[in-house]
């Protein structure tokens, strides 16, 4: 007797006791009912486009826009930067060839290597982006965001290597040290660490008016005079449709939300990392850090690098693992990205930033090539039927041989079908 293999239960795997026994992932009682998959795919697809956009804008900045110069395709620094695109990256020349609406390749002389410059459309976008970076409101906002980032540290100082990790997400210009920070000596000072032989950016003085988190600002409706420290502030949690919490976990979340809110600009390292109050403070630091970014998301490695420098240890990892309703972690192109859920509705930002609009226009220009690069002529042959269909801009003369020829003309296009007998 042949036994038929029992089909797998189409119902999703129910998580019990907070542990998924199929792949041993601790989920704190989160039950996945196979819903919300479309939303996660949208966010991952959007992250893929933005990851490639990051490389495109990096190459755009390398082209000296102001003098309208060009760069060599064989430059080894370009290939080194392109390694950030992941295992499916193209070579530099193929990368430029894939986006001809952004980059234009040319050879000055036959004996010289290929060079690349921006197309007029990309040059126009870059000039508009530079105008945004040069506007007074944006410069003031960028300086305050960077100052708040430094105020999250006790020493009010961060190495430039750590700041450069957040440069794109903070909305800083490519050469922000010379074009932005040099105009605000009352805010910033470049500090040289002789022990580690590294450069760091230091906040000159503590600014009390900036030491207010977004959670506190919303709680007092912008009236900072009525702001009271130590109040119970609840984090907004947005679970995808179909995700439920077990009752015991729901009870714990309610008690955790009722704990006092400690400002991320306060030093609370005296709290035990395993305590619920210490965890709420770590979540508040992560929440404020992501809110400072114009995209309200960044790579997980950036957060861990920031946390390691401040001495948070595993607190950030624990916060991301225990609170999926506050933070969403996507995985695409060998990169994990942490997204602040409350800042998005589906895959759109609630509070739009001018730079994000410019980046969408860059992506639209990059996608434009998918339609313009398709050749107009289409040739298809079938050997069995000895037939050929040829679509071209001009009429084709019959080459000879026996057969019938049908010519259809429409909108200056000629369709010739020849079938041999």
Q: Are residues 294 and 398 in the same domain?
A: no
Query: In the prediction, which pLDDT does 414 show?
Result: 41
* Residue 25 maps to a domain: no
Q: Are residues 397 and 264 in the same domain?
A: no
Distance of CA 421 to the CA centre of its chain: 59
- Per-residue model confidence as pLDDT tens digits over 208-226: 999 999 999 988 887 777 7
* Residue 326 maps to a domain: yes
Q: How far is it between the farthest Cα atoms of the chain?
A: 94
Query: In the prediction, which pLDDT does 77 show?
Result: 53
> Would the pLDDT of 167 be above 70?
yes
The residue among 247 and 14 whose pLDDT is bigger is 247
- Roughly what angle, to the nearest 10 degrees, separates helices 120-134 and 354-367? 170
> Would the pLDDT of 12 be above 50?
no
* Residue 129 maps to a domain: no
Domain stop point among 288, 322, 345: 345
Query: In the prediction, which pLDDT does 266 show?
Result: 93
Q: Are residues 390 and 286 in the same domain?
A: no
Q: Are residues 299 and 396 in the same domain?
A: no
- Per-residue model confidence as pLDDT tens digits over 375-387: 444 444 444 444 4
Distance of CA 135 to the CA centre of its chain: 24
> Would the pLDDT of 368 be above 60?
yes
Is the distance from CB of 94 to CB of 49 less than 8 angstroms?
no
* Residue 141 maps to a domain: yes
* Residue 91 maps to a domain: no
Tokens of 110: 């036959």
Query: In the prediction, which pLDDT does 353 show?
Result: 92
Q: Are residues 322 and 393 in the same domain?
A: no
- Per-residue model confidence as pLDDT tens digits over 270-287: 999 899 999 999 999 999
Query: In the prediction, which pLDDT does 72 show?
Result: 65
- How large is the average pLDDT for residues 122-143? 92
Q: Are residues 393 and 250 in the same domain?
A: no
Query: In the prediction, which pLDDT does 54 show?
Result: 67
Q: d(Cα 284, Cα 213) in Å, to the nearest integer?
A: 9
Q: Are residues 241 and 299 in the same domain?
A: yes
> Would the pLDDT of 3 be above 90?
no
Query: In the prediction, which pLDDT does 269 show?
Result: 93
Cα Rg, the chain, nearest whole Å: 28
The residue among 52 and 372 whose pLDDT is bigger is 52
* Residue 124 maps to a domain: no
Q: d(Cα 262, Cα 287) in Å, to the nearest integer?
A: 12
Q: Are residues 398 and 253 in the same domain?
A: no
* Residue 78 maps to a domain: no
Extended strands (E) in 258-342: 297-299, 327-332, 335-340
Q: Are residues 280 and 387 in the same domain?
A: no
Domain stop point among 345, 369, 395: 345
Q: Are residues 170 and 303 in the same domain?
A: yes
What residues make up the domain containing 389? Answer: 378-420
Q: What is the DSSP string of 333-367?
A: TTEEEEEEGGGEETTEESS--HHHHHHHHHHHHHH
Q: How many domains does the chain have?
A: 2
Q: What is the DSSP string of 115-171?
A: EEEE-HHHHHHHHHHHHHHHSHHHHHHHHHHHHHHHHTSTTSEEEHHHHHHTHHHHT
Q: Are residues 413 and 265 in the same domain?
A: no
* Residue 257 maps to a domain: yes
Residue with tokens 């502030």: 233
């Amino acid at each position: 007797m042949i036994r038929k293999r029992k089909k797998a239960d189409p119902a999703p795997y129910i998580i019990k006791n907070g542990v998924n026994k199929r792949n041993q992932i601790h989920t704190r009682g989160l039950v996945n009912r196979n819903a919300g998959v479309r939303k996660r795919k949208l966010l991952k697809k959007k992250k893929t486009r933005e990851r490639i956009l990051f490389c495109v804008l990096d190459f755009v900045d390398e082209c000296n826009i102001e003098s309208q110069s060009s760069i060599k395709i064989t430059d080894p620094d370009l290939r080194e930067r392109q390694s950030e695109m992941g295992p499916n990256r193209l070579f530099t020349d193929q990368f430029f060839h894939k986006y001809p609406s952004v980059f234009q390749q040319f050879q000055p002389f036959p004996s010289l290597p290929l060079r690349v410059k921006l197309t007029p459309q990309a040059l126009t976008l870059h000039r508009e982006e530079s105008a945004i970076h040069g506007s007074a409101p944006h410069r003031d906002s960028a300086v305050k965001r960077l100052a708040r980032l430094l105020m999250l540290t006790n020493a009010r100082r961060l190495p430039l290597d750590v700041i450069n990790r957040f440069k794109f997400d903070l909305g800083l210009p490519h050469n922000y040290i010379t074009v932005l920070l040099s105009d605000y000596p009352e805010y910033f000072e470049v500090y040289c660490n002789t022990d580690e032989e590294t450069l760091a950016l230091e906040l000159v003085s503590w600014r009390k008016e900036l030491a207010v988190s977004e959670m506190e600002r919303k709680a007092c409706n912008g009236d900072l005079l009525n702001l009271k420290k130590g109040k119970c502030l609840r984090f907004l949690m947005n679970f995808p449709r179909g995700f439920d919490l077990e009752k015991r976990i729901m009870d714990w979340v309610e008690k955790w939300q009722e704990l006092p809110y400690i400002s991320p600009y306060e030093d609370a390292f005296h709290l035990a990392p395993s305590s619920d109050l210490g965890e709420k403070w770590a979540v508040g630091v992560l929440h404020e850090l992501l809110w400072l970014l114009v995209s309200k998301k960044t790579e997980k490695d950036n957060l861990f690098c920031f946390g390691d420098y401040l001495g948070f240890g595993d607190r950030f990892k624990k916060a991301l693992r225990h609170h999926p309703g506050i933070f969403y972690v996507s995985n695409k192109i060998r990169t994990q990205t942490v997204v602040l859920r409350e800042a998005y509705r589906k895959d759109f930002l609630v509070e739009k930033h001018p730079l994000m609009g410019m980046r969408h226009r860059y992506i639209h220009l990059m996608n434009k090539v998918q339609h313009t690069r398709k050749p107009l002529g289409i040739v298809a042959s079938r050997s069995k039927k000895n037939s050929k269909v040829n679509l071209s801009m001009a009429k084709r003369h019959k080459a000879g041989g026996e057969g019938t020829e049908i010519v259809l003309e429409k909108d200056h296009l000629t369709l010739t079908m020849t079938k041999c007998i």
